[in-house]
Amino acid sequence: MRPHGLAGGPTAEIVVPADLRFLEVVRSSVHAALDDSGCDAGCASDLQLACDELAGVLITSARTPSALQVAITDDGTDAYVRMIVPVAASGFRPQVPDLTRMLLDATADSYEVRTDGQDLVGVIQREISSQPA
């Protein structure tokens, strides 16, 4: 997994309010960005669900979230989605609920949730056109 960046293919980036009501925009953006990558419908659906779950963790974990920044890219083999929610406390590590962890395990090849300075960061990786490991 690329832990800190999304080098490789073209990157689509969006910024939406850090509000669960805007997750539909994230899902649509993930699907559109991966449409030409060779990511089949199942792969895109899995990534959309994984993004929903991980974005929900980031948004609900932040005390006063203002924005959700999303970057979607692929390198021809793997698709990556990086999500960032700026927060005011460094060193905070959000807890991923068991059900969310199970859904992420079922829909992504790998994922991570971490802090980077004063940002909560989530990264999802999925091999294009494959079943998750």
Q: What is the CATH number of the domain that holds 28?
A: 3.30.565.10
Structural domains of the chain, count: 1
In percent, the amount of the chain with pLDDT more than 90 equals 41
**Could you give the count of Cα atoms lying within 13 Å of 13 in the half-sphere of its Cβ?**
8
Cα–Cα distance for residue pair 20/90, rounded to 1 Å: 23
Cα–Cα distance for residue pair 80/28, rounded to 1 Å: 15
3 within a domain of the structure (yes/no): no
Is residue 96's pLDDT more than 50? yes
56 within a domain of the structure (yes/no): yes
Local confidence band at 123 (pLDDT 50, 70, 90 cut-offs): very high
Contacts of 102 (CB under 8 A, 6+ apart): none
Local confidence band at 107 (pLDDT 50, 70, 90 cut-offs): very high
77 within a domain of the structure (yes/no): yes
1 within a domain of the structure (yes/no): no
Cα–Cα distance for residue pair 82/74, rounded to 1 Å: 11
Cα–Cα distance for residue pair 12/74, rounded to 1 Å: 10
Local confidence band at 3 (pLDDT 50, 70, 90 cut-offs): very low
6 within a domain of the structure (yes/no): no
Cα–Cα distance for residue pair 77/63, rounded to 1 Å: 36
Cα–Cα distance for residue pair 72/16, rounded to 1 Å: 14
23 within a domain of the structure (yes/no): yes
What's the N-to-C CA distance of the chain in angstroms?
Answer: 13
Domain that holds residue 123: 11-127
pTM: 0.83
64 within a domain of the structure (yes/no): yes
Is residue 125's pLDDT more than 50? yes
**Mean confidence (pLDDT) of the chain:** 83
58 within a domain of the structure (yes/no): yes
